[in-house]
Structure 1
Amino acid sequence: MSRSGTVDGVLVRRADDRMHTEIDWLDSRHSFSFGAHYDPDDTHFGLLLVSNDDRVKAGSGFETHPHRDTEIVTWVLAGSLVHQDSTGHSGVIHPGLAQRMSAGSGILHSEKNDAFRADPATPATDVHFVQMWVAPDTSGVTPGYEQLDITAELDEGGLVVVASGVPRHVDQRAISLRQKDAALHAARLLPAGTVRLPAAPYVHLFVARGTVEVEGAGRLADGDAARITASDGRRVTAGADGAEILVWEMHSALR
């Protein structure tokens, strides 16, 4: 596998080149600067501030902590995650369930691996999820929460609008974002399945599992990402085992 670099105008970031946090209960790989990991040249792309690829052990997780003025979308790949927040929302997030929390003027929440709820005879497993943060277009709003199961839409194999504030997505989106210039899409691609990326000034493609071939930029595998400026709708084709991808479409960038 080649290293990170620019191919045909696409900045490819390989999984092994991500910053890495590993402690007893958490294995997290960061696509951008996060926590103690800081690179002044890698703080965001477009409006996307955070894209963390997390694995949390059973019975563990993120204790109650604060957020402010951030749109947080969590996408579970395996296992389940228990969410609780200071506005009274709680629930169990599982694969195919889109979830968004708007931190707004301030919110407290916790996220924990739900495996401890399972039958004791069943081996406990890690929860694997991707958590993504985008900047809102308005600060200090009332905190909010939204979730929706979109498994049926994903099973059709195309690119599904998971969360969006883009006006033209009003009839397509699963859940809303308080950011009019950003949308998250997802696809579960069968072997050799193909989709076209959105046309937008900034597009971030993350390969959550499997392998894909990106038109003009080559092969991406689990954990690889592509940052595309002035995206013109490149074709993405899954490899022999299929793939699951997460795609941010963004029409502005942080200054």
Structure 2
Amino acid sequence: MIQLRSANDRGHANFGWLNSYHSFSFGSYFDPQHMGFSHLRVINDDTVSPSAGFETHGHKDMEILSLVLQGTIAHKDSTGNVETLPAGEYQLMSAGKGIYHSEFNASKNETLKFLQIWIQPNHLGGEPGYQQKAFGEEEGLTDIITPDGQNGTLAIKQDMRLHQLILSEQTQLTWQVDLKRRYYIHLIEGELSLNDDTTMTAGDGAKIQSLEAINFTKLSQSRCKALLFDLI
């Protein structure tokens, strides 16, 4: 079963300096039908004005993933990390027993666009952690996150995996999946068909359950880029 989550149906908040679209309930946006999917709790598609950003604030017991789509994030946190996160790089912050951080658009002239993603951990407390890495733009599926950080991936406190999907020269890709697990796809750019019966455009999401395989077909002339979450 594939259940489409249209980009046009997402929650929306505009504070002037921040324009944000919520795939799941977040902040003042509440929809009991969209409270998350498995341990995937938040996907916010954020656009931040030049020099603006999120002042120092706290998190606890949450795995927080950021992927910059355009521009650069200036990051500071209470464990001593002072980093910049450019477009294409992934940042995974484990809040653990508690962490404070700030995120700002590092540019005085250009807009920042990034995805903010929250995953609930499978155990609470512990020391906060910080990871950051670029994985390139290879064709096909690239492993980004695993529970044990195998093969240079980012390690997360949950039984889940994240894959980056890129179809550029290649128009189709079929992936065999586990019937006992659930999957969520967030399309970042392009136009994509799932199993020849569900069409996705940029910003759309799709919940997938009880299928033996997913057939990805690129419909746009330009490339497709998506995140594929493998969840329990």
Q: TM-score, normalised by structure 2?
A: 0.93
What displacement does 1:47 show? 1.0
What displacement does 1:149 show? 1.6
1:125 matched to 2:107? The reply is: no
**Counterpart in 2 of 1:119?**
none
State the percentage of identical aligned residues.
33
**Counterpart in 2 of 1:98?**
90
Q: Secondary structure at the match of 1:234?
A: strand
1:187 matched to 2:162? The reply is: no
Q: Secondary structure at the match of 1:21?
A: strand
**Counterpart in 2 of 1:56?**
48
CA contact (8 A) 1:191 1:240 kept: no
Output the amino acid matched with 1:184: L
Could you tell me how far apart the structure 2 residues matched to 1:227 and 1:111 are? 29
CA contact (8 A) 2:4 2:198 kept: no
Output the amino acid matched with 2:24: F
1:247 matched to 2:228? The reply is: yes
Q: Deviations over 1:158-210 (max 9, x none)?
A: 21111121x5x722x5211111x111111232055333346241101011111
CA contact (8 A) 1:203 1:250 kept: yes
**Counterpart in 1 of 2:16?**
24
Q: Deviations over 1:197-239 (max 9, x none)?
A: 4624110101111111111432110101111113423111222
Unmatched segments (≥5 aa) in structure 1: 1-8, 117-123
Unmatched segments (≥5 aa) in structure 2: none
Could you tell me how far apart the structure 1 residues matched to 2:84 and 2:214 are? 35
What displacement does 1:78 show? 1.0
1:150 matched to 2:150? The reply is: no
Could you tell me how far apart the structure 1 residues matched to 2:67 and 2:19 are? 16
Q: TM-score, normalised by structure 1?
A: 0.85
RMSD (CA atoms): 1.6
What displacement does 1:126 show? 1.2
Could you tell me how far apart the structure 1 residues matched to 2:40 and 2:71 are? 25
Q: Secondary structure at the match of 1:241?
A: coil
CA contact (8 A) 1:191 1:243 kept: no
1:177 matched to 2:156? The reply is: yes
Q: Deviations over 1:52-92 (max 9, x none)?
A: 11111110011111100000111111111111110011211
1:213 matched to 2:193? The reply is: yes
Q: Closer, same or farther in 2 for the Cα pair 1:66/1:234, shift >3 Å?
A: same
1:137 matched to 2:116? The reply is: no
Could you tell me how far apart the structure 2 residues matched to 1:196 and 1:22 are? 38
Output the amino acid matched with 1:194: Q
Runs of 4+ in structure 1 off by over 2 angstroms are 191-198, 230-233
CA contact (8 A) 2:50 2:107 kept: yes
Q: Closer, same or farther in 2 for the Cα pair 1:190/1:90, shift >3 Å?
A: same
Output the amino acid matched with 1:47: H
CA contact (8 A) 1:191 1:241 kept: no
Q: Deviations over 1:84-111 (max 9, x none)?
A: 1100112111222121000010000111
